[in-house]
């Protein structure tokens, strides 16, 4: 292989996810091994436009694999959504003689990367970094495992007080368009109900489920709610249930941005390292406009267009299992 790639840039964009630093570290150290120059772009696409770019060495990524967040910071850029903004970003990259870019982020990040490559021909490889696990073509995204573990730990603690006071708790987790966090959290914590955007489960079905629980004289319960489910917020659902079950004292806990933070799990560190390593390898072999995905424990190259346009939904068998196990 005649390798013409000499300079690679890496950035993080969109919502932060535990494990992003592990991916940055992998990109930098893989580039260093192959004697490539690597540049970090701060603050996502905004930094690309404004020229907030620095050369990174191996020492710059020492002792970051265990840290949450991203050392390169992140932002959402309105300017990059315009042709003028993307033109400025292109000129910045050319001023640094960048031959390829590793974009770590989610759907919005990859949409920008796909458009940018089509317009200006800059080779782009995406690394899926989003706690929602909603990108098509990969079994896992960086940050998902950590977010679920954080949510499960929170629900376990809520269970103690729910049991002590014989209460019904509605726990809202992140997932405006995706229910993967809620589904896995619900199964992992033994929740009595799960409401996600991809399932048409309505409040009436939940009420019937709770009636079955009441007949068994189960005096407390936990329901995990994805913030984007069609029945409303956890507060909305709690108000409906309160009118039907006077014996319950529904309480609501919203875990919120706690799910984004914290030290990444071993799994997130591992997949982030693999994806970062292979992203550089793809660029060196002149493969671009792709995302590094993991399917059946193997790295695959997924067209960015597929990753952003095709939908990924929880397996029906998982939904069936979750319902059976909650009875």
Q: Is there a contact between 28 and 11 (Cβ–Cβ < 8 Å)? A: no
Distance separating alpha carbons of residues 243 and 265, to the nearest angstrom: 41
Q: Is there a contact between 74 and 45 (Cβ–Cβ < 8 Å)? A: no
Residue 221: strand pairing partners? 168
Catalytic residue among 16, 132, 145, 268: 132
Strands, E assignment, the chain: 7-12, 37-41, 53-56, 100-105, 124-128, 168-173, 193-195, 221-226, 251-254, 290-295, 298-303
Q: Is there a contact between 89 and 115 (Cβ–Cβ < 8 Å)? A: no
Distance separating alpha carbons of residues 216 and 206, to the nearest angstrom: 16
Is residue 306 flagged as an active site residue?
Answer: no
Q: Is there a contact between 158 and 222 (Cβ–Cβ < 8 Å)? A: yes
Active site residues: 132
């Amino acid at each position: 292989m005649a390798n013409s790639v000499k300079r690679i840039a890496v950035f993080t964009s969109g919502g932060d996810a535990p494990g992003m630093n592990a991916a940055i570290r992998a990109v930098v150290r893989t580039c260093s091994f192959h004697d490539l120059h690597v540049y970090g772009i701060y603050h996502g696409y905004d930094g690309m436009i404004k020229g907030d770019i620095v050369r990174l060495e191996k020492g710059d990524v020492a002792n970051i694999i265990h840290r949450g967040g991203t050392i390169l910071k992140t932002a959402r850029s309105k300017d990059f959504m315009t042709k003028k903004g993307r033109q400025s970003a292109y000129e910045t990259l050319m001023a640094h003689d960048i031959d390829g870019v590793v974009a770590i982020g989610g759907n919005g990040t990859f949409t920008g990367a796909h458009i940018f490559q089509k317009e200006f021909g800059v080779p782009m490889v995406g690394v899926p970094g989003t706690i929602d696990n909603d990108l098509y073509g990969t079994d896992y995204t960086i940050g998902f495992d950590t977010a679920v573990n954080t949510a499960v730990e929170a629900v376990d603690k809520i269970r103690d007080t729910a049991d002590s006071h014989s209460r019904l708790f509605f726990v809202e987790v992140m997932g405006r368009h995706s229910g993967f966090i809620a589904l896995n959290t619900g199964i992992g914590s033994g929740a009595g109900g799960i409401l996600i955007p991809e399932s048409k489960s309505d409040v009436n079905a939940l009420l019937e489920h709770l009636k079955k629980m009441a007949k068994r004289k189960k005096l407390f319960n936990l329901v995990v709610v994805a913030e984007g489910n069609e029945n409303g917020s956890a507060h909305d659902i709690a108000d409906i249930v309160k009118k039907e079950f006077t014996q319950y004292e529904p309480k609501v806990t919203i875990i919120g941005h706690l799910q984004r933070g914290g030290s990444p799990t071993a799994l997130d560190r591992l997949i982030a390292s693999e994806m970062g390593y292979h992203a550089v390898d793809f660029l060196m072999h002149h493969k671009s406009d792709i995302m590094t995905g993991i399917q059946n424990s193997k790295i695959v190259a997924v067209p960015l267009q597929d990753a952003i346009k095709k939908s990924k939904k929880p397996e029906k068998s998982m939904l069936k299992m979750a319902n059976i196990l909650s009875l």
